[in-house]
Amino acid sequence: ISNHTIDISVDFKGNAHVGEKFFLQFQNEEQLAQFRQIVSEIGVSLDSWKDYDARLHPYIGQENDIAASKVAFVENSESYLEITYGLTTPLMQKRSETSRVIAYGIKPKFFNNFLSGSLWVIPENTTITIKLPAGAEIQEPVEPDAMVRGNDITWSGYKYSNKLTLNYRVFKQIASFDFGVTLQQLLQSDVFWLVVAAIIAVGAVLFWKRRAIANRIESYVVAHSDLTREEEGE
């Protein structure tokens, strides 16, 4: 294993999807062919891959944190074994929330595979990249020191720290009103015919009392017109 990369994509609610790549070097074609055979025999069993090589396993979270997973051997310009998986619980913890902003912080327990004594240690040739949701605002400090590019935070080994800190906040999206969608939802709801019946009933009452209403309006206009003339005469 020449390199190990971990790419973590975080959504707006703090959930994460993880992709890990173990870049492999083979001394010859025979060794490569043997590994292809191993891949076909083991398949997607994470336990079997760990039995084959203790280094080949998901590094984010523990076994009970892993949701659906996929294993693939990719042969391009570089050969690597790729493990992709989701987590059963959010990687990020909600720290506070207002009407406009939600503040999150990373849960260090998901990185216990990098805990050595009291230190968080990222080994040499290991890179961890966390991609936060669009519009996230990263709060200093980030520990250990990381390279920050936009919404991407990258730790490259060898690196160690007695703290693992990543805090950020996201701004809530302002809901937009779509008349077409609202109308369609109304047409499909059970309330639609009640609304239609109510409109018909109100229309019938107005039609039935149209003369009385017209007389009241006419009387109101006449009364105020007379008052206006009196004020002008004074």
pLDDT, tens digit, 9 for 90 and up, residues 197-233: 778 777 666 667 767 766 777 676 666 665 444 544 5
Q: What letter would DSSP give residue 76?
A: S
DSSP for residue 132 = P
Contact between 14 and 93 under an 8 Å Cβ cutoff? The reply is yes
Please tell me the distance from the alpha carbon of residue 83 to that of residue 70, in angstroms, as a whole number: 6
State how far the Cα of 155 lies from the Cα of 130, in Å rounded to an integer: 9
pLDDT at position 9 is 98
Please state the φ and ψ torsions of residue 77, each to the nearest 5 degrees: -65, -25
pLDDT under 70: residue ranges of the chain: 174-193, 195-196, 203-207, 210, 213-214, 218, 220-234
What is the DSSP pairing of strand 119-122 with strand 159-161?
antiparallel
User: Percentage helix, strand, coil, to 5, in the chain?
Assistant: 35, 35, 30
Interhelix angle for 179-188 vs 192-208, to 10°?
90
The model carries a pTM of: 0.74
Model pLDDT, residue 7:
98
